[in-house]
Structure 1
């Protein structure tokens, strides 16, 4: 499936803004996700942080993941629904991060990971037979196993707090992609009910752990 102009523009904008951030520390600092600044009213960071990345590797991983999974979403739902799911997932990721880390005013994060995770979840819901190749595994694996494993790893990362990865945003993005895909295309509930339940499991686990104060 050919890449849509919407996807190309989105990737191009993310690359251009990320490179601007690589070269301009003031620009990077002004538009990254920073809880203290957001609580003081700098709400643009909830959106702008999704266009900044830590380095070229971080940027490349997110944009390649988006490039491979996005065609399933806009191919089934159309370009406008794809953009809605992307930005809803980005905002859900940052809103969950703001909620979980609300008392840490110095918490900072950047990256499109939440939005991309939402697109991955959406693609899996739309096409449960989807398979992907990982660099270290020479055979294709079901995309839903990757999605579930990724979120379970994110739970571990949220609990361990031993790296600088925004694991909370991954979860919020997955929730956004999950909910908006079903809202836009409710027949998913009937056509792919098993996958709807399977992908809900790590979300429920995270919610229970958060309620119990274990994250």
Structure 2
């Protein structure tokens, strides 16, 4: 079984258990007061639980398609656990700005794998910017989707009231790009070369 499928399996099992177990959610959700008390595991554990089935399904479908495409790259660059380390890093880093902004806010809570999934998605776009991505069944070049995704997330982070952590999406995506470039600097000239040769 691939690393991507193992992550998906673990996330689905824990998320399904959490749907009917409020105590489990309370133990795993990202909650700044608990983190300040030393429960740093919540930087990772919040990615194992989701608000509902639709939230879980969207994240896991995205992770399935783009994670499988990236596994070989990270295993070649970082070794057999490369993709797992990359994904875990995305989950943690994507939550750091939210923690800094809400460290004294006991009402703040966040859950879901979106930060790590955004890291995977944007790393894929960096490696293959003109690949076709389907958004609500409509085909779109990956790089154009990235621009729209960032613009939407910035707007919603500033003006939205939908209880979605758009900050985690943005920082997860930024982490995916920066980490990939640091892990393999040759990706940047390859990306620029591809960008100069559009294909639809």
Q: TM-score, normalised by structure 1?
A: 0.83
What displacement does 1:81 show? 2.4
Structure 1 stretches (4+) deviating beyond 4 angstroms? none
2:35 aligned with 1:35: no
What are structure 1's unaligned runs of at least 5 residues? 197-215
Q: TM-score, normalised by structure 2?
A: 0.89
Q: Indicate if the aligned counterparts of 2:128 and 2:142 stay in contact, CA closer than 8 A.
A: no
Q: Which position in structure 2 is the counterpart of 1:205?
A: none
Q: CA 1:50–1:162 in 2, change beyond 3 Å: closer, same or farther?
A: same
Task: Give the Cα separation in 2 of the matches to 1:97 and 1:141.
Answer: 30
What are structure 2's unaligned runs of at least 5 residues? 196-200
2:187 aligned with 1:188: yes
2:48 aligned with 1:51: yes
Alignment RMSD (CA, Å): 1.8
Q: CA 1:72–1:5 in 2, change beyond 3 Å: closer, same or farther?
A: closer
Aligned residues: 191
Task: Give the Cα separation in 1 of the matches to 2:131 and 2:23.
Answer: 41
Q: Which position in structure 2 is the counterpart of 1:67?
A: 64
2:25 aligned with 1:24: no
1:93-172 pair list within 5 angstroms: 93-137=94-138, 140-172=139-171
C-alpha distance after superposition, 1:20-77 (max 9, x if no partner): 1111101101110111211222111111001100000000000000111112211333
C-alpha distance after superposition, 1:6-32 (max 9, x if no partner): 111110000001011111101101110
